[in-house]
Chains A and B, each alone.
Chain A
Amino acid sequence: MLELADVHTYYGNIRALRGVSLSVAPGEIVTLIGSNGAGKTTTLRTILGTARPRRGTITFGGRRLDTLPTDRIVRLGIAQSPEGRRIFPRMTVLENLELGAFARTDRAAIGADLERVFALFPRLAQRPTQQGATLSGGEQQMLAIGRALMARPSLLLLDEPSMGLAPILVETIFRIVQDINRQGTTILLVEQNARMALRVAHRGYVMQTGRIVLQAAAAELLRSDLVRKTYLGEK
């Protein structure tokens, strides 16, 4: 479904991605784990076209993405819940969700998806007219995911959905991620919380300094020495 082949992305002269290759198959949850600055967010930005690869190709359903502008990529069925949530601060919950559906052409079906998002996140249903900036961190995270779902994407990119959330909320968010996947959405999940990510994912990739250093089934990665020592803090 999604295929990255030898992708190199630079910020100025800084090499952020040094030949990343990965693939995501329909129906999967694939996670990309690694420490801060490993290039996880850059990988997502490069997929979405907000950062451009200097080398390599990205294809989605057989179509090249790396030459398309972001708004066209979104229209092909990729949506993102970005790092830091990036809620539109001076817009209401409802407006944020409506903007998630901006690129859709099937206007009639948007209402049903709004119901679906409100069913997943009852907290949002209780405060449709509240301004984005005044929501709590957890509510903003729900809104960011909900907003991405409003695009009815075939591929959902989730960037650090657990960041800054209380542990109980992290559990909730990951349960919802699994629910979304069961309802038919393919997910590429970037996380620093490797344990949680590997528990919900089918497969995983480990990134270090702009490269993929390990890839395997999630259960296998949970048992691997590298992951246990470096990312799970075990001895």
Chain B
Amino acid sequence: MQPWEVLVQQTINGLTRGAVFALIALGYTMVYGIIELINFAHGDVFMLGLFISLSWFALFGVTQAPTGWQLLTILPLVFVLTMLSTAALNVAIDRVAYRPLRRSTRLAPLITAIGVSFMLENLALLWKGPAPIAYPDVFPSVDILREWFGVDSAIFVTTKDVLVVGATIPLMLALNYFVTRTRWGKAMRATAQDRETAQAMGINVERTILLTFFVGGALAGAAGLIQGLYYNIGMWWMGYQAGLRAFTAAVLGGIGNMPGAALGGLFIGFLSAWSDQYISARWTNAIVFSILILVLVFRPQGLLGARSADKV
């Protein structure tokens, strides 16, 4: 492989990783925007999304690559069911763990979020055991350049890469439509910008918070399913690492800033892929968290500007 081919290949890897980080980071940033909580359990909702999607596939009897029409019907259905499941889970977490603390100090729900994270991880450990879980190779992996275009290239672009991007972009467009065009999307932004005034508009703030957790949970579930389809493996602890990277992405873009979270996710995706290649996979976490520290020290409002950086 030529050096430029390596770079292109790692950039493609970075894009697919970044898409998953971006979907998770959006949930972090939306929840922060509305209740100023860093929801440390969010990464674990992503992890459970992967495991829950396994159960949905199992329910439909899918254990390996299904045929064409099955893929076209079952896969979208599992997407929807997984997203609904994690959305409901995220709403339940808020109701049980965070809502009773709505009027207490900021630290109380933050520590609770860490506790919820431990509980979800241990739940997954009980459910699936400590060993990595094989995820069925539901989505066929076709080397597009070679098999479809007959190009003999060292670079691999597979149908799975296309799946990741092809699932992420519509989700982000739908989210963008929701927050900028719909009544409840506008209510959500209004609540994030000025809660008391939003109430004075007749907006039920608790309902808006519920909706935020619902949407954030759905995106995390989609990310979990995409992760499973792409890497064909799931671990009970994967939410911790993905969550921290996605959190870094959200801070990088400016916590509370939704386009910032999406771009931050992509950036962290590229960075971690390049770091794995050119430095060493062992150093990638150190590099990602150095970025987090540098941003917090020198530009706490993030690259695109945060909603309220003074409150991080």
Contacts and interface: CB of A to CB of B under 8 A. Distances in A.
A91 B186 CA distance: 9
B141 interface: no
B152 interface: no
A45 B36 CA distance: 23
B186 A99 contact: yes
A92 B242 CA distance: 35
B189 interface: yes
Contact of B193 (A79, A80, A90): A90
Chain B CB within 10 A, most for which of A82, A89, A99, A151: A99
A89 B194 CA distance: 9
Interface stretch (B86-94, B198-206, B214-222, B268-276): B198-206
Contact of B201 (A89, A90, A100): A100
Interface size class of A (residues with CB under 8 A): 20 to 34
A102 B201 contact: yes
Given A70-B200, A71-B199, A102 B189 contact: no
A86 interface: yes
Nearest to A76: B202
A50 interface: yes
A147 B194 CA distance: 15
B187 A102 contact: yes
Interface size class of B (residues with CB under 8 A): 10 to 19
B202 A75 contact: yes
19 contacts: A69-B204, A70-B202, A71-B202, A71-B203, A71-B205, A74-B200, A79-B200, A82-B197, A86-B197, A88-B194, A90-B189, A91-B189, A98-B186, A100-B201, A102-B187, A103-B201, A147-B201, A151-B201, A151-B202
A82 B200 CA distance: 9
A48 interface: yes
Given A91-B190, A99-B186, A74 B201 contact: yes
Contacts of B198: 99
Contacts of A147: 201
A91 B193 contact: yes
Given A88-B197, A103-B201, 12 more contacts: A50-B199, A50-B200, A70-B200, A71-B203, A71-B204, A86-B194, A86-B197, A90-B189, A91-B190, A95-B186, A98-B186, A151-B202
Contacts of B190: 88, 91, 99
Contacts of B200: 48, 50, 70, 74, 79-80, 82
Contacts of A79: 200
B29 to A, nearest CB: 14
A146 to B, nearest CB: 13
A42 to B, nearest CB: 13
Nearest to B180: A95
Interface string B170-193: 000000000000010011011001
A23 to B, nearest CB: 22
Contacts of B189: 88, 90-91
Contacts of B202: 70-71, 74-75, 102-103, 151
Contacts of A88: 189-190, 193-194, 197
B299 to A, nearest CB: 19
A140 to B, nearest CB: 12
Given A89-B193, A91-B186, A91-B189, A102 B203 contact: yes
A75 B203 CA distance: 10
Contacts of B186: 91, 95, 98-99, 102
A100 B201 CA distance: 5
